Structure 1
Amino acid sequence: MDGFAIGHLPNGIGTPSDFEYEWGDVSFHSRVWETGPDREGAYKVDLTLKTLRGDRLTDLEALHKFLIEYEEKEPGSWQLTPVKVGGYDGLFAGDEVFYFIEPGVAAEVTIDPERFTDEDVLDTAAEFRPESKT
């Protein structure tokens, strides 16, 4: 997906759909897995993998600032823990982790915290990385 390999997915996720969009001069490629419909006809997002590409993504701090704006977070309200994700520097917030790959490239993984664990999101993120160039 957008030059990234997906090496691990948690068990029990639904059907995938792909999306491409742009926001704030950053392009997104997203794959979303949903289950449903339930009895009321609703679908539930299980897992989302995203690649982010844009000149403003210069380092992890710039990625963090961009996502605060994009996700409309109150500065200072987002409780994040520094993590290593497949060898990349990232920040983890329970149901999501984002990480800086190289200038202009980042990734984000979000998961349904009611159905999946912190370990599920981190294991998935560790195996969602740029495909090796041979």
Structure 2
Amino acid sequence: MIENLPDGIGTPSDFEYEWEDVSFHSRVWETGPDPDGAYKVDLTVKTIRGEKLTDLEALKDFLVEYEEREPGSWQLTPVKVGGYDGLFSGDEVFYFIAPGVAAEVTIDHERFTDEDALDTAAGFHPESTT
């Protein structure tokens, strides 16, 4: 369930995929096409499921590898997302829900604010059953 969405986002599409034995269920809102025919991603919410997601640190380590980030280069701020522990980087917030279940919200930081990202995350409630 997604309770809070920023104004002005585009049309949603749903995707499911897997990477390294972790499954992703995402909903992506896009605006477009622009005059060149391109679409722009406004917002993405993901439910992430996998046995290796044992806590927030394991989730962060997985996302560093998945997003091909340099270890230690990601500037993250601890946040509470509802009752969950999470990490925030401006255009992205992710949080640990239960063993095997996590969530992530990314937002177009050029069009939307930190508050939009955090409000959307606080209103995103993936089911914790695997």
Query: TM-score normalised by the shorter chain: which range applies?
Result: over 0.9
**1:110 partnered with 2:106:** yes
What is the match of residue 59 of structure 1? 55
Tell me the equivalent position of 1:42: 38
For residues 69-107 of structure 1, give each alpha carbon's deviation from its aligned partner in whole angstroms, at most 9, with x where no partner exists.
000000000000000001100000000000000000000
Aligned to 1:21: 17
Contact 2:30 2:41 (C-alpha < 8 Å) held by counterparts: yes
Q: Is the 8 A contact 1:96 1:108 kept in 2?
A: yes
Residue segments in structure 1 that go unaligned for 5+ positions in a row? none
**What TM-score, normalized by structure 2, do the two folds share?**
0.97
After the TM superposition, list the runs of 4 or more consecutive aligned residues in structure 1 that deviate by more than 4 angstroms.
none
After superposition, the CA RMSD in angstroms is: 1.3
Name 1:74's counterpart in structure 2.
Answer: 70
* 2:43–2:106 CA contact under 8 A, matched in 1: yes
Question: TM-score, normalization: structure 1?
Answer: 0.94
Q: Secondary structure at the match of 2:125?
A: strand
Task: Give the number of aligned pairs.
Answer: 129
Percent of aligned pairs sharing the same letter: 84
